[in-house]
Structure 1
Amino acid sequence: MNLCRKLWKYLLGLIILYVTVFLNLDRIRSYSTDAPIFEVTNSFSSKSHLSKDGSTNQFYHAQFKDQNHTYQFITVPKKQCSNNTKLQITILSTAGNFDIRQAIRETWANPNNSEHVANNDVRISFIISKTSNEFLNFALQKEIEKFDDMIVTDLYESYELLILKVHAILSYKQSHCQLADFQLKIDDDMAVDMDGLYRSLEDKKQASINGISGIIWKNSPPVREKKHRWYVPKTLYSEKFFPPYIDGPIYLIGKNAVPRMLEEAKNYNQWIIEDVFWTGVIGKALKIKQINWANHLLRYVIELIPSRLKCSKGGVPLIYAVHNMKGPQMIHDGYQKLKGVKCK
């Protein structure tokens, strides 16, 4: 019986391997003749080297009270923010999410669908962490060369280190797009009405260069169960409730708040829950104004129904972003529903 089970597992493994190779055969053939944009495995050295645009990468330091991390931007877009760029959007992604990124490029990040993107009023980039997977590196090289919208860091990719990825977003804003009024941190499972989002920047009730905008969570208790993903020991945070914070999938930070947040982080221990840390703990310490976007964002795809997709008194759609778009087709569908709202 044990021998049969072992043979069955072995056979199943061979089938999975065969299907994987067969389904990706065209990609393997396409990428096999190209040199990688960066070397693989142990190739990410700590030495400074040239980025894709030919400039020498500088080191950035994520400093916290208990830990310090040094990182670099291995690759940055050649096309940078211009003097008229008002909004820098950085989309959190991972190396293997090719189809997700392509769906975003075809919908809400497409310059053909937004004059603000076309005019460089808005700069949109994806941020990913390095990978040691050779196949992914070949694929990423081709993607970078074709689209020029990728920021690649040498940080380790993990949920527990999202706090560092957000640090990299803020550092990139300061070093490559400092004059832009706003930085939007957004996950890659969002669909966005770019026109509606950009309109919000002109409304002082929705955006401030000194504040943070998004869905505000209040009276959220820390999880004290040690095995839980979001466990917070009392030694890290002893209060009964977290300070009000902005929901992680999407939040807008004003340009005046960005350098203050990076500096203030040095006074605190490193957290796992990045939105609570950056927008709640740091935001409270700096007394940063929070602006609630609850009437303009949907958290789940099931909320994409006519009764929620309403118009404002000014005759424009109220909702300009929806979360939990699982897969490229849902991003396409969600985008079409957001853009399909007709106001009198």
Structure 2
Amino acid sequence: MVTSHHKVFRRVLTVSCCLICAVLFFLYATKNQPRPRRPRPASSHRFYPSNWTLVNLKHFEFLLNSDACETRHIDLLVIVTSHPGHVALRNAFRRALPMEALRTFNISRVFLLAQINPSQTGYHQVDQTIIEEEHLNFNDIVQGDFIESYHNLSYKHIMGLKYSIHYCPQAQLILKMDDDIAVNLFQLLDLVRSKSLTGLQIAGAMLTGNERNPVRERASKWYVSRYDYAPSKYPPFVSGWAYVTTVQAAIQLVRHAESSPFFWIDDTYVTGMLAALSGVNHVDIRTRFTVFADHLKCCLRNDAVACDYFVGPSGDDAELVEAFHRQSFRCKIRIDSCRAAFNESSDKPSFCVITNLPSQTYDKLDGRIIHGQIVPLF
């Protein structure tokens, strides 16, 4: 009887040991097996070079890259600086101007992202898996391995220019813009062409007067100490909201970025400091910029009028971004349906004007206080 119990015990023990060994072997095997990586649309190894230099980052790498410019003639490459959490803004661009539609006009577009910063608050939180899924769906994200931060905006800016010259050198022009800015790509492109933008030039809204003064108030998020920048004026530069340049100019800007001191305010750094070192000149088109989101909303009230303004802020309003871009696209494909309201003789916008109704806003481009509301002339 005892012997029988011992035999049963030994069998149970043997089976248990075998099961434990099998489980341990399985866990070991799966732990050491390479985890499958999500497929990257830009599968060629040249889209993921190792040990690139980005300004003063000596081992920069792309986390995601796009082949948006492959084997196509490109009149305009649009590089959009975007926060990882701004999914709604990126989707507004895509709904209003899908890549299939842009390709008919020889336009391509990518969004520039940094690595997700989990400590940031105030943004819609996303993780890397969501960004990768977004890229798989749209193949339009270029993501660098530096952390998302105001103080890393210059890295993102230069990354976009570097992408342009290495992966889209055939582009005739480059439009750099922010994801919370509404831009009429087609009218802006026509305007820049009328200015014969070539070679070492940047077309955008020139900053003048006090706008070129460094912010010395410590409480400001744009505070710049005299240690970081000693002069009392920045060199001439254009607004980073949106500007157009050439591949030739981008090459020079990137080259000087890798041999010049880093500065974190990206539009001042790239279109001012680096432009001065590179011999890149500015073409001022600020008359077609507005600092009022209400100007853009005003334009949308009349579908038969092409907006006076080509560039303006959305206030992070994805619906406004989508609506403005839809209207610009409709006016492009149905030219006869949209008449221009711009007063060419005075070179001043004439469709949406300021009335004397009570309210107050500050126009940063003109540096004056304006009282009133923005309304259509008709």
Q: Would you say same fold, with TM above 0.5?
A: yes
Look up the SS of the partner of 2:89 in the other structure: helix
Partner residue of 2:44 out of 38, 43, 55:
55
SS of residue in 2 equivalent to 1:272: coil
Paired position in structure 2 for 1:119 = 104
Unaligned ranges ≥5, structure 1: 1-34, 39-49
Aligned residue identity for 1:270: F
Give 1:294 deviation, angstroms. Answer: 1.0
In the TM superposition, what are the counterparts of 1:28-43 in structure 2 within 5 Å? none
Where in structure 2 are the equivalents of 1:68-107 lying within 5 Å? 68-107=57-96
Distance of 2:73 and 2:133 partners within structure 1? 29
Could you tell me which residue of structure 1 aligns to residue 338 of structure 2?
A: 342
Deviation at 1:161, TM superposition (A): 0.6
* Structure 2 residues without counterparts, runs of 5 or longer: 1-34, 119-124, 332-336, 341-378
Instruction: Quote the Cα distance in structure 2 between the aligned partners of 1:80 and 1:308.
Output: 32
Query: In the comparison of the two structures, how many residue pairs are matched?
Result: 287
Tell me which structure has the larger Cα radius of gyration.
2
Counterparts in 2 of 1:319 and 1:225: CA distance versus 1, 3 Å = closer
CA distance in 2, matches of 1:76, 1:152: 6
- Is the Cα contact below 8 Å between 1:296 and 1:321 reproduced in 2? yes
Q: TM-score, normalised by structure 2?
A: 0.67
Query: What is the identity, as a one-letter code, of the residue corresponding to 2:98?
Result: N
- Residue 254 of structure 1 and its aligned partner are, at CA, apart by 1.3
Correspondence list, 1:49-198, <5 A: 52-56=41-45, 57-58=48-49, 59-63=51-55, 67-107=56-96, 109-111=97-99, 114=101, 117-119=102-104, 121-131=106-116, 136-198=127-189
Instruction: Report the counterpart of residue 199 of structure 2 in structure 1.
Output: 209
Using the alignment, how far apart are the partners of 1:68 and 1:77 within structure 2?
21
Alpha-carbon deviation of 1:87? 1.3
Among 219, 231, 236, which residue is 2:228 paired with?
A: 236
| Residues 82 and 161 of structure 1, relative CA distance in 2, 3 Å threshold | same
Aligned to 1:303: 295
- What's the counterpart of residue 255 of structure 1? 247
Distance 1:53 1:307 in 2: 39
* SS state at 1:202 partner: helix
Three-state SS of the structure 1 residue aligned to 2:309 is coil
Task: Quote the offset at 1:221 in angstroms.
Answer: 1.0
**Larger deviation: 119-128 or 223-232?**
223-232
Amino acid at match of 2:73: N
RMSD: 3.0
TM-score, normalisation: structure 1: 0.74
State percent identity of aligned pairs.
18
Contact 1:218 / 1:243 at 8 angstroms: preserved in 2? no
Say which of 266, 290, 296 aligns to 2:258: 266
